[in-house]
Structure 1
Amino acid sequence: MLDPADIGKVLVVTAHPDDIDFGGAGTIAAFVDRGVEVVYLLATSGDAGGFDRTVNAEHMAEIRHAEQVAAAKQVGVTDVRNLGYPDGMLEPTLALRRDIARVIRQVRPDLVITSTPERNYARIGPSHPDHRAVGGATLDAVYPDARNPYAFPELLNDEGLEAWTVREVWLIGSPSPNHYVDITTTVDRKLAALRAHETQTGHMPDLEKMVKTFLANHAIQAGLPEGSFAEAFLVVPTG
């Protein structure tokens, strides 16, 4: 596993606005506090999210982009990118792999964080088809696409993007996590980021209790002291 001191850049690749905030905003806040550069890449516009049926898909996408920018600000992230694929229709295609590989070569991160491509039978939420699609495509973009100069040659020949090897991947929502990050000092910023997603969390009066209960259970699994909170990941070496 990477030494935290060796992580200078992190790329977070998720399907929807709010995915990273539910899965890892406390960890991102801790990275930013240490001076790590973090970039968010959203695969979809989030146009199929929300509960207000008077809002059309185009306007919903605009709202959710603004919510993600506001949420990112809560944890110190200013670079938020969006590939604009339709929400709810994501597939791990060659086109999606190329688009993610492009951003990997642009950002040149040490660590990539993305959703697990596994189906979680214990808890269905992480198994949204878009989550699994972006996780699979991102893993394929990490290996072999981004590191192989012969993969998607137009990225090098037309855009000048040299191959790049990501050193490690952390998966959100895995049914078998093997790494826990203590976010006790950043949990309030995670909650602030989640509240910024008004279309997704505004109907949840018990949001704080729900989130803290979930994070406290992770802390117990990690062996942290009582009163701690943690986020969970499956670490995937790329070497």
Structure 2
Amino acid sequence: MSHRMLFLGVYGMEMVECGGALALNAEAGGRSFASIMLAKSQMQTELQAAAQVLGVEKVYFNEFERGDIDLRREYKLALVRVIRETKPDIIITQDPEHSYEDLDPDRRPAMLLLLEAIALAGRDYGLEEMPELEPHPVATVYYMSPQTPNCTISLASVWEKKERAMDCLSAQMTFSGHHFSERLSVQEQQAIHPQFAELTPTQRGREVQRAMDRALYLHSGLGSHSRFALAEPYRRQGLMELERLIP
């Protein structure tokens, strides 16, 4: 069954981290969208390329102020507008539990802003600023990269797409390459890739990301005694509502 699916992210790479769900929805005839708060200009271009790979129909860039995410009306209205325009059946966003301990800046206030916008989108909020858009309540929310997942999806059919989408993010990979070159000892670097020192910063970042992705998705799949080899983990908000028990 196809759905309208919206990803609400902070920096950008999260869109690709949820690329399995977005791509599977698009392949099933659904419409996938994404909204990113803080992507810089180069990252925006690269995310557009990644979106094409994943079948994401449109990416909204909010261009909020880095280091100063808060609950100002301007930010809430921007996210409410995205939700009302895309009319999603499903929203994917960052996990509240995980965001509290994440040391990336803006994660914690962003979580409050995201949840508030999701709630306000279905109320009579901001109607004077967007009279052409009716309130849109969102029934189902999934949290990405949760500490306590309660569901997974198989990546087997879209793994190549997810990898190609991550290849598009050279700015993020370059940043990660410099970061891990400083953080990891030579021995640890070689454990990731035997020729780590000979790689460019972009290649270093990509190899580390590739290793982390495979470890996470294998753990969520085979490592958790799943029938899935590689699995993207999520935590669904609220109870699972099933018409009948599923195997």
On the 8 A contact 1:174/1:234 being kept in 2, the answer is yes
What residue in structure 2 maps to residue 52 of structure 1? none
What residue in structure 1 maps to residue 104 of structure 2? 128
Q: TM-score, normalised by structure 2?
A: 0.77
Q: Within 2, Cα distance between the matches of 1:178 and 1:70?
A: 31
Deviations 1:145-191 (A, max 9, x none): 11112x22324xx5321111111011112211111111122112111
Instruction: Classify the secondary structure of the residue corresponding to 1:162.
Output: coil
What residue in structure 2 maps to residue 152 of structure 1? 126
1:110 counterpart = 2:77: no
On the 8 A contact 2:99/2:108 being kept in 1, the answer is no
What residue in structure 2 maps to residue 54 of structure 1? none
What residue in structure 2 maps to residue 51 of structure 1? none
Instruction: Classify the secondary structure of the residue corresponding to 2:235.
Output: strand
Q: Determine which of 208, 211, 217 is the counterpart of 1:209.
A: 211
Q: Within 1, Cα distance between the matches of 2:237 and 2:165?
A: 26
What residue in structure 2 maps to residue 66 of structure 1? 45
Gaps of 5+ in 1: 47-60
Shift of residue 89, structure 1, vs aligned partner:
3.2
Relative distance call for 1:116 and 1:93 in structure 2 (3 A) is: farther
What residue in structure 2 maps to residue 234 of structure 1? 235
1:20 counterpart = 2:22: no
Relative distance call for 1:120 and 1:30 in structure 2 (3 A) is: same
Deviations 1:59-95 (A, max 9, x none): xx22111110011111111311111113343234333
Shift of residue 222, structure 1, vs aligned partner:
5.1
What residue in structure 2 maps to residue 39 of structure 1? 33
On the 8 A contact 1:14/1:131 being kept in 2, the answer is no
Q: Within 2, Cα distance between the matches of 1:224 and 1:95?
A: 44
Instruction: Classify the secondary structure of the residue corresponding to 1:13.
Output: strand
Q: Within 2, Cα distance between the matches of 1:127 and 1:180?
A: 25
Q: Within 1, Cα distance between the matches of 2:103 and 2:138?
A: 25
Shift of residue 42, structure 1, vs aligned partner:
0.7
Q: Within 2, Cα distance between the matches of 1:170 and 1:92?
A: 22
1:188 counterpart = 2:160: yes
Instruction: Classify the secondary structure of the residue corresponding to 2:76.
Output: helix
Amino acid aligned to 1:15? V
Q: Within 2, Cα distance between the matches of 1:27 and 1:147?
A: 24
Q: Within 2, Cα distance between the matches of 1:89 and 1:225?
A: 43
Q: Within 2, Cα distance between the matches of 1:75 and 1:93?
A: 32
Amino acid aligned to 2:23? A
Instruction: Classify the secondary structure of the residue corresponding to 1:39.
Output: strand
What's the % identity of the aligned pairs? 20
How many residues are paired up? 210
1:30 counterpart = 2:9: no
Gaps of 5+ in 2: 174-201, 242-247
Instruction: Classify the secondary structure of the residue corresponding to 2:133.
Output: coil
Q: Determine which of 71, 74, 78 is the counterpart of 2:57.
A: 78
Q: Within 2, Cα distance between the matches of 1:117 and 1:93?
A: 19
On the 8 A contact 2:127/2:133 being kept in 1, the answer is no
